[in-house]
A = this chain, B = another copy of it.
């Protein structure tokens, strides 16, 4: 239970910090630099009392060294610590620490998207039960106040769709491939050297990191119970320069998008490389920027862009949560975010096979008369209608590329037709299938 703080409103708010990586370093720095302003705002000082990390303390500034503790228990059992900021990341041991902290009445701030995507319902329930607050703005979109905008600003609105760029590493790689050319692996290697990609970038490039964030976003946007199993996830590692170039020729740019759609409570939630019009605003969000393009029933089209990662932008979001929660503790306010209420809307998640989309198809086919007729015949037989066709480029190992874009088609039908095409003796490699979204976000 929250300690009663009335009558002692200028008692310090004490923080236990878990982890001391990039983001935690940023939090420490902002509190050092802005401590006076924050204290004045809240009429009470906000101080990091203890720091627990199992990793190296190399990043610790001299002034932080005396705050280091050896065990999580030193923070958990410290009755003066009001708020735990968890910046360890990953499921274990972060989950155990957070649960124990909540059970001992401490409020939580976390940037842990993996944990929230998998366990937010359990964690939120526990927060309600133990009457503690939780802030997690930093888990999605770094310094962009997107969660707050959705859960508070648009609380009464109905969100119809969200197109998002929520993984900086993937966006950096695709932007480089699009603007400067080059192979996926080479650019990834350079990104790692520059610190734009992690040494193990798999969660970034396979779409799972985006999916984690999209699940959190979707729960807030639709007040719905959504889990990782509901997300269609495809990463960027198979995107070739060839497909980027053909897309350009067709007026499209390939981006890894996180997509949410809600039509009559039938929800689509998917992460995949997507062809979007080169002229759209979101196609021009490059490098490590994140972006959210929402369509709200009443507010209409809304966009938010900014740094989606990095020490200080993410720390800025943590500090925003910290000031909000510290304010609530100081005023002994037990009113929780409505999102914790678990009053979920009834929704149905669309299965992959039920998705309707436009598609980009690249066939590797023998350069012989009649091939196009065979392919288009199969597509037609599955009621898939062709919007455009390109056949050009030189033969590679006796094959040429035939690129077809379709009008809207059912994914199940489409994949069946591709299976049939890939069985033709004139088709020499697995056909590339990408989805097209004709986003109209012109301002």
A positions within 8 Å CB-CB of B: 26, 30, 34, 37-38, 40-43, 137, 142-145, 148-149, 152-158, 223, 281, 284-287, 289, 291, 296, 298-307, 310, 312-313, 315-317, 319-320, 322-324, 327-328, 330-331, 333-335, 338, 341, 343, 345, 442-443
Contact = CB atoms under 8 A, between A and B. Distances in A.
B322 A156 contact: yes
How many protomers of this protein does the assembly include? 2
B298 A316 contact: yes
A52 B74 CA distance: 59
Contacts of A30: 156-157, 298
A143 B305 CA distance: 16
Contacts of A145: 145, 148-149, 152-154
A116 B295 CA distance: 29
Contact of A306 (B137, B284, B299): B299
A161 to B, nearest CB: 14
Most chain B CB atoms below 10 A, which of A145, A317, A323: A145
A324 B26 contact: no
A296 B26 CA distance: 14
A152 B286 CA distance: 27
A333 B323 CA distance: 17
Nearest to A286: B443
A94 to B, nearest CB: 23
B155 A300 contact: no
A113 B9 CA distance: 33
Contact of A302 (B157, B285, B286, B306): B306
B323 A443 contact: no
B300 A157 contact: no
24 contacts: A26-B298, A34-B156, A37-B223, A41-B223, A143-B300, A145-B148, A152-B324, A153-B320, A154-B316, A156-B322, A284-B443, A286-B442, A291-B443, A296-B316, A298-B313, A298-B316, A298-B319, A299-B306, A299-B316, A300-B307, A300-B310, A303-B306, A331-B333, A333-B334
